[in-house]
Structure 1
Amino acid sequence: MIFFKAKTSWSNAEFIIIKLCMASAYILIGSYFHDFFKDFYVPLLILFGITTIWFIILWLKKMTNRA
């Protein structure tokens, strides 16, 4: 599929969004096994949701600008 072969250029600032998204997911997964982060479930879920949506919007904009 051409969809998976498409290449885009990303700035370092735009990578911060995906890094925050992945980091919040890793902490959520890790917090399932440890009680240290149990008080932060809601803020981490909110952070994960916002950064995921933000990343997808940026990615779709780059894909549509390329076409």
Structure 2
Amino acid sequence: MNFFKIKTSWSNAQFILIKLCMASIYIFVGSYFHDFFKDYYIPLLLLFGITVIWFVFSWLKKMKASKQQ
């Protein structure tokens, strides 16, 4: 199974999850070098973890639905 050849259609609402996921880890990595966000490490890691799990679940669900068609 080659994951690079699989095509799916995503709505804009579904892209919110991956955008939140990427944004939270970018802010976390950026905040490692700045003290401004140091009080937000735990909420950012929680946001990243939740959005990663949610995105992967949505992706697998969509892949399973496209295989059944």
Question: TM-score by structure 1 length?
Answer: 0.95
Identify the residue that residue 21 of structure 2 maps to in structure 1.
21
Offset from partner CA, 1:6-59 (integer Å, 9 cap, x none) = 000000000000000000000000000000000000000000000000000000
Partners in 1 of 2:56 and 2:5 — Cα distance?
Answer: 17
For structure 2, the residue ranges without an aligned partner over 5 or more in a row are none
Aligned residues: 67
Identify the residue that residue 7 of structure 2 maps to in structure 1.
7
Identify the residue that residue 30 of structure 1 maps to in structure 2.
30
For structure 1, the residue ranges without an aligned partner over 5 or more in a row are none
Partners in 1 of 2:63 and 2:2 — Cα distance?
Answer: 12
Provide the alpha-carbon RMSD of the alignment: 0.8
Where has structure 1 moved over 3 Å in runs of 4 or more? Answer: none
Higher helix proportion, which one?
1
Partners in 1 of 2:8 and 2:29 — Cα distance?
Answer: 29
The one-letter code sitting in structure 1 at the alignment partner of 2:37 is F
Question: TM-score by structure 2 length?
Answer: 0.93
